[in-house]
Amino acid sequence: EAQVTQNPRYLITVTGKKLTVTCSQNMNHEYMSWYRQDPGLGLRQIYYSMNVEVTDKGDVPEGYKVSRKEKRNFPLILESPSPNQTSLYFCASRTSGGTYEQYFGPGTRLTVT
Amino acid sequence: AQSVTQLGSHVSVSEGALVLLRCNYSSSVPPYLFWYVQYPNQGLQLLLKYTSAATLVKGINGFEAEFKKSETSFHLTKPSAHMSDAAEYFCAVSDNGRGSTLGRLYFGRGTQLTVWP
């Protein structure tokens, strides 16, 4: 089944404790992206990657890191999480061309205390 | 950058009533337009998309949307609401211009649809 998977689905952590949220897709998509969703703000892009070893900032990149060492994986790293990073996070992927339709993972709900 | 405006963060309708969720966009280049739906505790699922073919687009679950270039709108409708339609709906527009943001999606803030029995 074609899908985007994220782990963990739920995470509660404390301020300053480094964490990684994994994202993997099995559709051989070149483009991958991370979003955060906050009430009343919709989805805001954190980082995106056009292909392996090619990443760029989205609208809200502060406090986040990403890497793209393999085509299928695009982990999101929070080196020192803070309470304002409490949010619902989505990973998405698509092909490099076509109609730019993105396929979303199930989401990761992160709480930073 | 593109922008998307969804008028009304909350819409409530009775079961069987017409659903109308509004979306306006700004784009200097003809865009692709999308409606996504998010059911509680789930990810986003594509409802329908406009890609410069027919201006009236039919999607899943009886939803449809009409692209109106003169109004820069892409409103989502369903003739008869069902309880199972209760969800959050997001309108999105693609960046079809040139440059590093080509293909990027810009989302509206979402509209929460409540369906009353």
Rounded Cα distance, B26 and A56, in Å: 23
What's the rounded mean pLDDT across residues B104-111?
Answer: 92
Residue of A nearest to B95 (CA): A100
DSSP string of B47-116, one letter each residue: EEEE-SS-SEEE-GGG-EEEEEGGGTEEEEEESS--GGG-EEEEEEEE--SSSTTTT-EEE---EEEEEE
Of B43, B46, B49, the CB nearest to A107: B43
Question: Among A110, A109, A93, which residue's Cα sits nearest to residue A2?
Answer: A93
The sign of the torsion formed by the CA atoms of B48, A51, A86, A60 equals negative
What's the rounded mean pLDDT across residues B34-59?
Answer: 91
Backbone angles phi, psi at B95, to 5 degrees: -90, 105
Q: Which residue has the higher pLDDT, B21 or A39?
A: B21
Residue A73 DSSP label:
B
Residue of A nearest to B48 (CA): A101
What was the pLDDT predicted at B97?
67
Could you tell me which residues of chain A have a Cβ less than 8 Å from any Cβ in chain B?
A: 4, 31, 35, 40-45, 48, 56, 90, 92, 94, 96-97, 99-107
Q: Would you call A104 and B32 a contact, using CB atoms and an 8 Å cutoff?
A: no
What was the pLDDT predicted at B100?
66
Of A56, A90, A94, the CB nearest to B43: A90
Best mutation target among A32, A34, A99 (most B Cβ atoms within 10 Å) is A99
Residue of A nearest to B37 (CA): A104
Chains A and B form CB pairs within 8 A to the count of: 51
- Chain A residues with CB under 8 Å of B90 CB are 42-43
Question: Among B27, B24, B31, which residue's Cα sits nearest to residue B7?
Answer: B24
- pLDDT tens digits for B62-104? 999 999 988 999 999 999 999 999 999 999 998 876 666 777 8
Q: Which residue has the higher pLDDT, B102 or B50?
A: B50
Q: Are B77 and B18 in contact (CB under 8 A)?
A: yes
What was the pLDDT predicted at B76?
98
The sign of the torsion formed by the CA atoms of A13, A80, B100, A38 equals positive
Count of CB atoms within 10 A of residue A9's CB? 13
Rounded Cα distance, A102 and B92, in Å: 10
For chain A, which residues score pLDDT lower than 70? Answer: none
Determine whether B76 is exposed, middle or buried from the number of CB atoms within 10 Å of its CB (0-12, 13-18, 19+). Answer: buried
